[in-house]
Amino acid sequence: MEFTRRDLIRVSAATAVLGTLSRVAEALDDPLPSWNNGAAKQAILTFVKDTTDKSSSKFVEPKDRIATFDQDGTLWTEHPLYTQAMFALDRLVKMAPQHPAWKETEPFKSVLSGDREAMAKFTEKDWVEIVGVTHSGMGTEEFQSLVLAWIGVAKAPRFVRPYTDLVYQPMLEVMKYLRQKEYRTYIVTGGGQEFVRVYSEQVYGVPPEQVVGSSIATTYVNTNGKPVLMREPKPFFIDDGPGKAIGINMFIGKRPYAAFGNSGGDTQMLQWTQAGDGARLMMLVHHDDGTREYAYGPAGGLPDTKVGTFSEALMAEANKSSWTVISMKNDWKRIFPFDK
C-alpha cells in the first residue's frame, strides 16, 4: 500500500494532535503542575505513593496521615518582614495618639519616627513588647476582627498585592494533593495562632483547629454577662525551634509523616518527624530566586537576613540527614498563583 503526500500530511497532523492531547492529559493527571520534574517533585510523588498504597510495606493508615507545614517562608513570602510584624507595626501607629509617651520610649519611638535602621536591630525583647501592646487588651474575637479587616486591605510593599496573594502555588498543590490522599494538613508556625486562624481555611484550605502557633496568655472574664477570652500582654507558648516539636505533640498528639519548613526555626520539627518509623518526608524551601521572589540563605542575595534564616549549618544538616531542599529557582515553574 502506497501513501500519497496528502496521506502523510494527514498522518503527521493526526500524530501531532494525539501528541498534544497526550500532553494535555498528562498535565491534567499531574497533581503538581507548578513543579519542574526533578528530585524534589519526585520525592513528594514517591512518598505519597509509598504511604497510601495498601500493597506497600510503607503503607500508613489514613488515621495516622499527618503533614505539617511552617507558614512564613514555606507557604507564603516573609520578606521584607513577616506579615504579622507588619500588622503589629501598622496597629502601633494607629494606637499611638492614645499613648503619647511612646514618642520618647523605645522600641515604640523608632517605629513612630520611621527609623528603619534602628528597627532592623530590634531584639526579640523589642518585638515581644510591640506584640504585647498591639495584640492584647481585648477579647479573642475582637482581635480576630481587627486581623480580618487589616489583611483584607493591607498590601506587601514590593509586589503591591494583598499578602494573601503571595502564597506559593507549588505548596498549595502539595497540600491539596496530600488532602486528596487522606492526609490532614496542619500549619505549625512561629506566628500567632489566632492571627493565622483568621485566614487559614480560605487561603490554604486548613481549618482553624489545624493551626498550631505561638500564643499569648488569655484570661476568662465575664463582661456584662458575656464570657470573653481576654488577651493578656505576655506570651503563653512560643511555637518555634524546639517549641514546634512540643506544640505538635501537645496540640496534634501524633508525629507527622511529612514536614515542610524553610529556616532554622523548623529544624526540630523536621528532626521530630524523621525520628518516627516508616517512610517520612522532610523538605526545606530554599529562597534562591531573587528575580521572582527573594534570594537569601546559602548563596543567596541576603545572607545576613534575620528573617527566615537558612544558614550554612542548616544546609549541612539537610545534606547529612537526607532532607530534600526545594530550590525555588529550579524546582518551581511559577511561584505565586498570579504568575504565568
Rounded Cα distance between 8 and 267, Å, is 60
CB 177 within 8 A of CB 31: yes
CB 287 within 8 A of CB 73: yes
Closest among 333, 212, 314, 313 to 266, alpha carbons compared: 314
pLDDT in tens, 60-88: 999 999 999 999 999 999 999 999 999 99
Residue/partner pairs of 305-313 with CB below 8 Å, 24 or more apart: 305/79, 307/73, 307/78, 307/79, 307/80, 307/81, 307/82, 308/72, 308/73, 308/78, 308/79, 308/262, 308/263, 309/263, 309/264, 310/262, 310/263, 310/264, 310/284, 310/286, 311/264, 313/264
Strand partners, 228: 221
The model's pTM is 0.90
Mean pLDDT of 276-305: 89
Amino acid identity for residue 136 in this structure: S
Is 37-79+167-331 a domain of CATH 3.40.50.720? no
Amino acid identity for residue 145 in this structure: S
Q: Report strand pairing: 226-237 vs 324-327.
A: unpaired
Mean pLDDT of 211-216: 97
Q: Say whether pLDDT at 25 is over 60.
A: no
Sheet with 324-327: strands ordered across: 226-237, 211-223, 184-192, 66-69, 258-261, 281-286, 324-327
Four-residue CA torsion sign, 126, 130, 131, 137: positive
Q: For the chain, give the mean pLDDT.
A: 91
pLDDT confidence tier of residue 308, bands split at 50, 70 and 90: confident
- pLDDT reported for residue 298: 80
pLDDT confidence tier of residue 1, bands split at 50, 70 and 90: very low
pLDDT confidence tier of residue 299, bands split at 50, 70 and 90: low
Closest among 231, 137, 153 to 193, alpha carbons compared: 231
- For the chain, domain boundaries: 37-79+167-331
pLDDT in tens, 116-175: 889 888 988 999 999 999 999 999 999 999 999 999 999 999 999 999 999 999 999 999
